[in-house]
Chain A
Amino acid sequence: MTQPQIEIQLIAMVVAIACAIPGVFLVLRKMALISDAISHSILPGIVIGFFITQDLNSPLLIALAAVTGVITVVLVEWIQKTGLVKEDTAIGLVFPALFSIGVILIAKNANDVHLDVDAVLLGELAFAPFDRLLMSGMDMGPKSLWIMGVILLVSLLLLLLFYKELKVSTFDVGLSAAMGISPMVMHYGLMSVSSVTVVGAFDAVGAILVVALMITPAATAYLLTSNLKKMLLISVGIGIFSAIGGYWLAHLLDASISGSMTTVLAVVFLMVYLFAPGKGLIAVLYRQRQQRTEVSLITFLLHLNNHSEENERHINHLQEHINWQKVRSKTVLNLAERNNMITIDNDVVSLTKKGKDFTDLALEYIITNKDEKIEHMKEDFFLFRG
C-alpha cells in the first residue's frame, strides 16, 4: 500500500467512528432525520466561514458551520412548538431553506474555488491526502485526519464522561429532568457534537452520505444487541469495516470512496436485517412458524388431556379428528415426543407426567395470563415469550 492509500483509509476510519458514536444516540432518540437536516443546513455556515477564512479546514469554519447545525435544530423545534406543523414537516421546511442559501452563496461567489455543489453533496476522500498540515515546514500528515482525529477524541471523551447522563436522558426524559440531569443540556450537547462531526466529515463524505455513516451503523447494531455499550462498540466496528471495505471496493470498481463506503454499509445492514439472531427477518419468520407449531402442540396435548378413551388417542384418529394435515401432525408429534411429553404405544398416544404438568401450566397461563409460573418454559418455547 502506498502512503496516500493508508492515509485515505485512516481518514475514512476516523470519520466513520466519529459519525457512529453520536449516531447511536440519534437513532435511540428517534432523531435520525435530524442528522440529515444538520448535514444539509450547515452549508451556509461552511460557505460564510470559507469567505472569512479562505480555508476549508479552518477551526473557525467548523465552529461557524456547527452553530448553523444547532440553529437548524432550534428552528425545527421552534416551528414545531407553534403546533401548526408536525416535526417531520418542520425538518422538511428548515433544512432545504438553509441549504439553498448555501447553494446560492456558492454559485454567486465561490465559483472559482474548491467548493462546488458536487463536492458538497458527495465529498471526495481521494483528494484528502493532498491537503497537508505543515508546522514550521514539517509535514504532519493530511489536515483532515488531524481535524477528524481531534473531533473524534473530543466526542469520545464526552461520551466517557457523560455516558450515564446520555443514557438516562435518552431512555427516560422525565426521570432525567427530575434528577437534575437536564435533558435540555444533553439534547443540545448531542446536537452540537453531531453538528461538529458532520462538518468535519462533510469534506470527506459530503452532505448526503454522512447521514448513512451516522445512522446505518447504529441501526444495524440495534438489531444485533440489547445492550447500549455493545451497541456503541458494534456501531464503531461496522463503521471501521465500512471504511476499509469501502476503500477497497472503490479501488476495485474505480469508483467514489464515500459511495462505496455507503454501499458496504447498506449491504451489511441488509445482511443483518435478514440474518440477525432474534431480531432479524428470518429469525422472526422462524419464531412465528415455531409459535404456530407450539399452539398446535398445546391444542394436541389438551385433546389428549381431555380424552382418556383409547380410540380418541389413536394416531390416525388424531389426524382426522383435529383436522390437521399429515405433515403438521408429524411435526407436532415429533415436538411432543422430543420433549418427553407423550409416549406412543401401539399407535396410541398417551400423555406423560411431564406432558400433563406442561398442559396444566399452559392452560392456567392462557386463562389467567399470569406468567410467573411459566418462566422456565420461556427458554424452550417461543409461545410464552410474549
Chain B
Amino acid sequence: MTNVSAIQIDDLTVAYDYKPVLWDIDLSVPEGVLMAIVGPNGAGKSTLIKAILGIIKPIAGTISIYGKSYTDQRKLVAYVPQKGSVDWDFPTTALDVVMMGTYGSLGWIKRPGKNEKKAALEALEKVGMLSFKKRQISQLSGGQQQRVFLARALVQNASIYLMDEPFQGVDATTEIAIINILKELRKAGKTVVVVHHDLQTVPEYFDWVTFLNVKKIATGPVKDIFNDDNLTKTYGINYKVAVNK
C-alpha cells in the first residue's frame, strides 16, 4: 500500500433541496486499490461519485484528486455512468460512443482524429466488442452496452476510474469480462472505485470496500472490515453473508 491518496474527501456534505444525502463524509481512497462502495438504495453511492466528479456541487467539504481539485485533474479521472442514465436509442454507433471518451482530453472545439479513432478501436478490442464497432447502440444487448461504456472509460486512459453499477443487468460472461478488466487496471497501478450491489461477490472481486449509508460506516481492506457487523450497521438489518476468508 502506498501513502498517496488517489482521492481524498473531507467533511463532504451533499444535499438535494436541503435534505442531506451524504452527511459529513471523510474518505480516503489509496492509490492502486479496487474499491467497492456498498450500501442500500438511497445511501448516496451514486451521489458520492457524482460529487467527486464535480457533477453535483456539495454544500460543504472538500474533495481532492492527488492533492488538487477535480477541475485541475479532470484528465486523470474516467467515469462510467449508470447504463440507464442515457438514451440508447440515440442515433450513434458503438465506436462513436467510445470515441466520446476522448472528448475530455481534446477540449472544446477540437475534433477527434486518427489517433482518437485508433485508441477507441483498441479499447473496443479490449472489451471484446471490436466486431460490433459499427452496430447502432440500441441493437446491442445490455451486457454489450455496458462493455461499450467500459471501453469509453478505458479510452480516457486515466489514473482513476469511477464506475456506477457496471454490473447492473449484465449476463455472467460480461460480468467476468468486466471484472477481469478491472483487475487488470488495478495491476497496472490504477485506482478503481465501483458502486456495487451484489454483496456476495465483494470479497471475490474487490480488495477494498466502503460501507455507505448517508454517513460513512466504514472503509478499509475487504479482509479486515467486510463483516456482518459493518453490514448490519449499513443495511440496518441483521445481515449474514458467507465471507470466505
Tell me the A residues contacting B by CB distance below 8 Å. 28, 30, 83, 161-165, 167-168, 170-175, 177-181, 222, 225-228, 230-231, 369-372, 375, 385-386
Contact = CB atoms under 8 A, between A and B. Distances in A.
Contact of B104 (A167, A174, A180, A369): A180
Contacts of B53: 174, 177-178
Contacts, number: 85
Interface of A, helix, strand, loop or mixed by DSSP = helix
A178 B77 contact: yes
Given A174-B50, A231-B91, A168 B100 contact: yes
Interface in B44-93: 50, 53-55, 71, 74, 77, 79, 81, 85-87, 90-93
Contacts of B104: 178-181
A217 to B, nearest CB: 14
Contact of A165 (B54, B97, B108, B173): B108
B189 interface: no
B229 interface: no
A164 B136 CA distance: 18
B91 A225 contact: yes
Interface of B: 17, 50, 53-55, 71, 74, 77, 79, 81, 85-87, 90-93, 97, 100, 103-104, 106, 108-109, 111-112, 131, 136, 138-139, 141, 152, 171, 173
B100 A172 contact: yes
Nearest to B173: A370
Contact of B79 (A165, A174, A231, A386): A174
Contacts of B139: 385-386
Given A161-B109, A375-B131, A226 B136 contact: yes
Nearest to B50: A174
> What 9 pairs between A and B have smallest CB-CB spacing?
A179-B104, A226-B136, A174-B81, A178-B53, A178-B79, A177-B55, A226-B91, A171-B90, A172-B86
A180 B100 contact: no
B141 A371 contact: yes
A144 to B, nearest CB: 31
A228 B131 CA distance: 21
Contact of B108 (A178, A181, A225, A372): A181
A225 B136 CA distance: 10
B240 to A, nearest CB: 30
A369 B93 CA distance: 23
A164 B102 CA distance: 11
A37 to B, nearest CB: 22
B175 to A, nearest CB: 12
Nearest to A177: B55
Contacts of B108: 162, 165, 181
A233 to B, nearest CB: 12
10 contacts: A165-B108, A165-B109, A168-B103, A170-B90, A171-B92, A171-B100, A174-B50, A178-B55, A180-B74, A181-B104
Contacts of B100: 167-168, 171-172, 175
Nearest to A81: B17
Given A180-B74, A370-B173, 8 more contacts: A167-B92, A168-B103, A171-B87, A171-B97, A172-B100, A175-B79, A225-B91, A230-B91
B71 A180 contact: yes
Contact of A174 (B85, B92, B93, B111): B85
B166 to A, nearest CB: 14
Given A175-B100, A222-B91, A164 B79 contact: no
A175 B81 contact: yes
B104 to A, nearest CB: 3
A179 B87 contact: no
A172 B149 CA distance: 11
